[in-house]
Structure 1
Amino acid sequence: MIIDKTIDLVQNLLDDKKIPTPEISNAVLGLGYTGVELEFRGSNNEIGVAYTLPELFKNGSCTKINFAGVLTDRAVQELLNWGKNPLSLERIIGIATLNALSQFYIHNYRTQYTFLTEDLFHYFNLNEDTKVTFIGLIKPMIKKMAQTTKNIVIIEKNLEFSGEFKDFTLRRNINNLDQEELDTDILICTGTSLINNTLEHILEAFENKAKFKCFIGPSASMIPDILFEEGIDLVGGMKFENSAKTFKVLQEAGGTKFFKKYAQKYNIIKQS
């Protein structure tokens, strides 16, 4: 699986000292996003986040995890490997840890990657005939693209579709798409598709259907190597620059709308 291979890659980088072993300085399981902050000796702290799936809080117990109060005392390798677990709060923490470790490597070994230097929408070079398929209801991006093209397909399992999206093709599952609807110029997946174990199925369904595949969002802020090997063309994430303000947002159940001001977005293109 993509997540397992990516975690193994990061573990190898830790073993080879290309990523120094950090301490876990902070961890928050927010209602919107989960965040993990890592303290690297002699370097800046790094933050990784992952979307906290709402259904993971629906058990009847008042205690949601059995490691509350001692999470930061654990080894970073343990939290990292939680990302291989079945869907659970541990898995969310593991992916947030993966993203924090990835930030150290990505931005300390920048020359290994090709960063997009122009605006993402300019890079897409959209026109009125461009077909864009979204896996996930990424409202700001959809609204901006809709200024150029109305040929938009949105697949969203949980969130309600408001009237502003009524002119687009709306589906609850990619299995509800016919062969013609699967054909697309640009496929955009959120990091949630990796969290809920649907990314491989999505890539298989669109393997010969999507001309350009993107994996973006705060939860997608991981080393892109395995994603590129599996067919993704662009990985877009966030590097956080203000840990105190970011964690205040997470603690108060805030999401991307509120913490994006404390981060810099970036996009990495697959090298041809």
Structure 2
Amino acid sequence: MGGGGFTMEPENPALDDYVLGLAQDAPLPRICLLPTASGDGEAQIRQFHATFGSRSCEPMHISLFRLGSHPVPLRETLLAQDVIYVGGGSMLGLLAVWRALGLDVILREAWESGVVLAGLSAGAMCWFEWGITKSLGHPAPSPGLGFLPGSMSVHMDGEPARLPICRQSIADGTIPPGYAADDGVALLFRGTELAEVVASRPNRKALRLGPDGVEEQLEPRLLATPDRFGPTPEIAEYRRVRALTAPQAPTAHQLRPRRPRRRP
């Protein structure tokens, strides 16, 4: 996502519903927030649970900066998820912490096993070979994990200073061709191929940025916004009872294994 979702559009659940809908094989998807790019910011974590805590899903988050006081079996926990959702913030900080803890390897294993990887801003650029980050205080190219080929620039409308840097960096060969997206726009990849572009609001744009200044405008499909944001009464009651009876967060041996699935 170039921007949007629960941190930027808390009143508009279209993109978050879309993310949950990608876990088609799971009647109650397990979704885990990695808020590393914000330094495990409490505001981002609270908004995530406010948004997904009443949805028909099982939300949790992992605070990597607090592993000393709240240890989590990282590989087992992440591989047990249906969706891993990465928040925005510093792309440089995000990747430094992930690599120090081995999450770059774990997340590739999760991706290859069929876990949906999602995120906005830094949480979107990190999957590509390159992104345009403002971690240094100004827009600049930064290498990502390289799961997806090419580059990604976000907040095309909200932070317009990024796009000229992206164009120039492609033109001089610093980074490969790639994509740019407005806030409220999401690019869906199946494997490494772009499958769909969607938007939570009308009049949003995305671009495919090619070599030699060649650009293609990608027309997003406008997502329908539901009349209500919340679970069915049955799911709400299930979650209420579960919250009252759950003794503690699951340990490694309590985590349910994910069902095998085919990669698209």
What TM-score, normalized by structure 1, do the two folds share?
Answer: 0.34
Report the structure, 1 or 2, having the larger helix content.
1
What's the TM-score once normalised by structure 2's chain length?
Answer: 0.35
